[in-house]
């Protein structure tokens, strides 16, 4: 089922949680709502589910306005961050709950319920836990049970609120892969909320980036990572170096140094923020070089596949820290040492003017 939200606005007192949000979630896609805490992503998810009421705007389910539809008639599956399993019921009863709550005329027989529960528990690979209570399960198991419970009522949409947020890193990674696989089998329209960029990029078909109640960018994981549309997205996805400076012809002046910059249409003298990923910075050791930003190496970390160099700014960018990523071989040829003065030259520089518009 497709989901559309139209001009959703939500206010909590003087705090604007969602400011005129319009989004389309096509049928069968797995979409991530990504953003820092307090950006409104969970509120949006709860509004779609009907657990929260928007101040204005519409939620369309399959093209129909759902504003007047009660939560229990929306046929959504909702997975909570802290599982919200019924603590006094066994795993079996938890999963069977939705079916048992149906009006008598639509309620399946006890045998049908039993078969369905076992089918779902097999799907989440936890059939052997049917008689346990939630308190006897690990976090990852609980979340999988919560998912089975949500699927039991055959929802048309699956909404997941920070589903892996309360789990430790290793389990989180496992469940991520597992969720993707499950989605490929079921093809149910799903939206999941997360503040973890890695999770969003790895699992989702599409990523919606949100900040302060606004949508910053929508796109496939590759699009949003490779072509961030705003400074916020640049800073939020992956590590990044940024420079405050002013446009001077074909260059950006940062303090006393200049950074080369591809052709652009920014006005001469415009105040800008320039971004470069750690692997997009080149280290120049030649003391005679004049181009690039002067910096002093503070640490060289070369234990991984790539080497990471941490630098402190000098000449006007004092107090700023930069990070460069390069191959181990390259680091060895350069013979970098701590305390050495070098220059940083970006191979690719993305420039935004101060208001955040792309150049």
Partner 1 sequence: MAGATTMNPGSAGSRGLTRFEAKAATRESPLVKWTILGVSLSFFAIFLLMPLIAVFVEALRKGWETYLTALTDPDALSAVKLTLLAAVIAVPLNLVFGVSAAWAIAKFEFRGKHFLITLIDLPFSVSPVIAGLIYVLVFGAQGWLGPWLAEHDLKVIFAVPGIVLATVFVTFPFVARELIPLMEAQGREEEEAAVVLGAHGFQVFWHVTLPNIKWGLLYGVILTNARAMGEFGAVSVVSGHIRGHTNTLPLHVEILYNEYQFAAAFAVASLLALLALVTLVIKSWVEHRAAQAYKVTEDAS
Return residues touching partner 1 (CB under 8 A): 49, 51, 71-72, 76-78, 80, 82, 84-88, 97-98, 101-102, 133-135, 149-150, 152-153
Q: Are 213 and 205 in contact (CB under 8 A)?
A: no
Is the CB of 45 or the CB of 281 nearer to partner 1?
Answer: 45
Cβ at position 156, least distance to partner 1 in Å: 13
Between residues 72 and 181, which has the closer beta carbon with respect to partner 1?
72
Maximal C-alpha separation, the chain: 85
Task: List the strands of the sheet with 251-254, edge to edge.
Answer: 257-260, 251-254, 241-248, 271-276, 350-353
| In the complex, minimum distance from the CB of residue 184 to partner 1, in angstroms, rounded to a whole number | 24
Q: How far is the CB of 85 from partner 1 (least distance, A)?
A: 8
Select 102 or 348, whichever has its Cβ closest to partner 1.
102
Look at the alpha carbons of 71, 72, 76, 82 in this order and tell me if their dihedral is positive or negative.
Answer: positive
Q: Rounded to the nearest whole angstrom, what is the least distance from the CB of residue 155 to partner 1 in the complex?
A: 9
CA distance 238 to 207: 14
**Angle, helix 139-151 to helix 169-186, in steps of 10 degrees:** 20
Nearer to partner 1 (CB atom), residue 171 or residue 240? 171
* Sequence-ordered alpha helix ranges (H) in the chain: 41-49, 91-100, 110-123, 139-151, 169-186, 197-203, 221-226, 231-236, 328-334
Q: 84 or 300, CB closer to partner 1?
A: 84
Name the minimum Å distance from CB 257 to partner 1.
53
Q: Which is nearer to partner 1, 77 or 245 (CB)?
A: 77
Q: Smallest distance, Å, CB 79 to partner 1?
A: 9
Burial 124-157 (b: 16+ CB within 10 A, else e): bebbebbeebbeebebbbbbbbbbbbbbbbebbb
């Amino acid at each position: 089922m497709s989901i559309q939200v139209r001009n959703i606005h939500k206010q909590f007192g003087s705090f604007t949680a969602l400011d005129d949000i319009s989004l389309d979630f096509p049928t069968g896609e797995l979409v991530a709502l990504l953003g820092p805490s307090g950006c409104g992503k969970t509120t949006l998810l709860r509004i779609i589910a009907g657990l929260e009421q928007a101040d204005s705007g519409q939620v369309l389910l399959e093209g129909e306005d759902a504003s007047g539809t009660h939560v229990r008639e929306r046929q959504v599956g909702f997975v909570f961050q802290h599982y919200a399993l019924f603590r006094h019921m066994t795993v079996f009863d938890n999963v069977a709950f939705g079916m048992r709550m149906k009006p008598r005329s639509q309620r399946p027989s006890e045998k049908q319920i039993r078969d369905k529960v076992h089918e779902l528990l097999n799907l989440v690979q936890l059939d052997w836990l049917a008689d346990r209570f939630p308190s006897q399960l690990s976090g990852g198991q609980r979340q999988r049970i919560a998912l089975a419970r949500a699927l039991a009522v055959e929802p048309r949409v699956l909404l997941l609120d920070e589903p892996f947020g309360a789990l430790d890193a290793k389990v989180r990674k496992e469940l991520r892969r597992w969720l993707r696989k499950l989605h490929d089998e079921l093809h149910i329209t799903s939206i999941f909320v997360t503040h973890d960029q890695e999770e969003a990029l790895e699992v989702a078909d599409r990523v919606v980036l949100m900040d302060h109640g606004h949508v910053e960018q929508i796109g496939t994981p590759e699009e949003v990572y490779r072509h961030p549309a705003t400074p916020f997205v640049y800073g939020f996805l992956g590590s990044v170096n940024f420079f405050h400076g002013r446009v001077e012809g074909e260059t950006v002046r940062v303090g006393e140094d200049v950074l080369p910059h591809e052709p652009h249409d920014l006005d001469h003298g415009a105040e800008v923020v320039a971004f470069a990923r750690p692997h997009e910075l080149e280290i120049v050791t030649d003391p005679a070089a004049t181009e690039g930003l002067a910096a002093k190496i503070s640490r060289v970390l070369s234990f991984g596949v790539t080497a990471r160099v941490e630098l402190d700014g000098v000449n006007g960018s004092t107090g700023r820290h930069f990070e460069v990523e390069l191959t181990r071989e390259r680091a060895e040829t350069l013979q970098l040492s701590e305390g050495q003065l070098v220059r940083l030259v970006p191979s690719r520089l993305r420039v935004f003017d101060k208001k955040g518009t792309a150049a």
